[in-house]
Amino acid sequence: MINPLDLTERRIMVTGASSGIGRAAAVLLSQLGASLVLVGRSAERLDATLAQLSGDVHFVRPCDFSGFERIPEWMKEGSGIYGPLNACVNCAGIQETKPLQFLSFELLERLLRIDLMAAFAVSKGFRQRGVSTHPASVVHISSVAGVVGLPGQSAYGAAKAGVAHMTRALAVELAGEGIRLNCVAPGWVEDTEMTRLAESRTPAGAVAEFRRLHPLGTGKPVDVAHAAAFLVSDMSRWVTGTTLVVDGGYTAQ
């Protein structure tokens, strides 16, 4: 029997692979047989992820996505090192909770550069000749903050909503090239640096209430990784342009 989740002989780039959801995705995809290209800012932290992977044909390529303009060229260079990619799971991003009265345009621009513009650049780089195979799949990590309105999340939510809409439009545009694009929109995911930072900057009562609003409880990085694995595998070969909400029922209410 053929296992549609088998990723043997697939080469997959995972951005934001140095921690959290990105690290969990990389570990899971390697367990499913994939060869990984690990991307993040810190080579040391990527090496820590590398040590947790199954298999031994993996690559580490540090990159700071705040300089998004160079990403397509950087991806083209990478294809000469490890060959064309079968998929990309783009987990790189930052999160800030800022009420409008305290939101600076500098922070707004930083959020848009790293969370939205870099996602555009990854998509643009992926479709270049020689960078990806055909068929191929791209998964961007969005957020429930891009689906519903949350206090202090206007900038972050706008960036993540932009990622979801970009994904829908590019899914239609690139379907003829055999490239599928989808999003995963997580709710509150425990045990990530981004969540711990958000928790430290949010009143304890507000955090507890947000957790309470997840009927199935809060998630773990591997819950999001499972969704990403589905979307890069043959099991989702007829799925493109969608945002898969993985939030324990938070947005169902």
Task: Give the residue from 60, 66, 20 showing the smallest Cα distance to 43.
Answer: 60
Give yes or no for residue 197 having a pLDDT over 80.
no
Q: Report which of residues 207 and 219 the model is more confident about.
A: 219
DSSP letter for each residue of 95-114 = -----GGG--HHHHHHHIII
Calculate what percentage of the chain has a pLDDT beyond 70. 99
Residue 204: predicted pLDDT: 74
Domains of the chain: 11-245 (3.40.50.720)
In the predicted model, what is the mean pLDDT of residues 131-138? 97
Average confidence score pLDDT of the chain:
95
CA-to-CA distance for 195 and 170, rounded, in angstroms? 29
Residue 206: predicted pLDDT: 76
Calculate what percentage of the chain has a pLDDT beyond 90. 89
Cis peptide before 99 (omega within 30 of 0): no
Give yes or no for residue 230 having a pLDDT over 80.
yes
Give yes or no for residue 118 having a pLDDT over 80.
yes
CA-to-CA distance for 122 and 139, rounded, in angstroms? 10
CA-to-CA distance for 46 and 61, rounded, in angstroms? 8
From residue 220, alpha-carbon distances to 168, 208, 237 in Å are 26, 16, 26
In the predicted model, what is the mean pLDDT of residues 215-238? 97
From residue 64, alpha-carbon distances to 92, 139, 178, 231 in Å are 10, 19, 28, 25
Band (pLDDT 50/70/90 cuts) for residue 207 is confident
In the predicted model, what is the mean pLDDT of residues 71-97? 96
Contact 87, 137 (CB under 8 A): yes
Residue 53: predicted pLDDT: 98
Residue 162: predicted pLDDT: 98
In the set 65, 68, 126, 156, the catalytic residue is: 156
Contact 26, 36 (CB under 8 A): yes
Residue 2: predicted pLDDT: 86
Band (pLDDT 50/70/90 cuts) for residue 1 is confident
Does residue 156 carry a catalytic annotation? yes
Band (pLDDT 50/70/90 cuts) for residue 129 is very high
DSSP letter for each residue of 131-198 = TEEEEEEEEEE--GGGTS--TT-HHHHHHHHHHHHHHHHHHHHHGGGTEEEEEEEE--BSS-HHHHHH
Q: What is the pLDDT of residues 29-61, one digit of tens each?
A: 999 999 999 999 999 999 999 999 999 999 999
Sign, CA torsion 49/50/52/58: positive
| Other residues' Cβ atoms within 10 Å of the Cβ of residue 183 | 29
End-to-end Cα distance, the chain: 39
CA-to-CA distance for 192 and 221, rounded, in angstroms? 7
Residue 61: predicted pLDDT: 97
Band (pLDDT 50/70/90 cuts) for residue 174 is very high
Phi-psi region of 249 (alpha: psi -120 to 50; beta: other; left: phi over 0): left
From residue 82, alpha-carbon distances to 75, 105, 130, 229 in Å are 10, 39, 11, 21
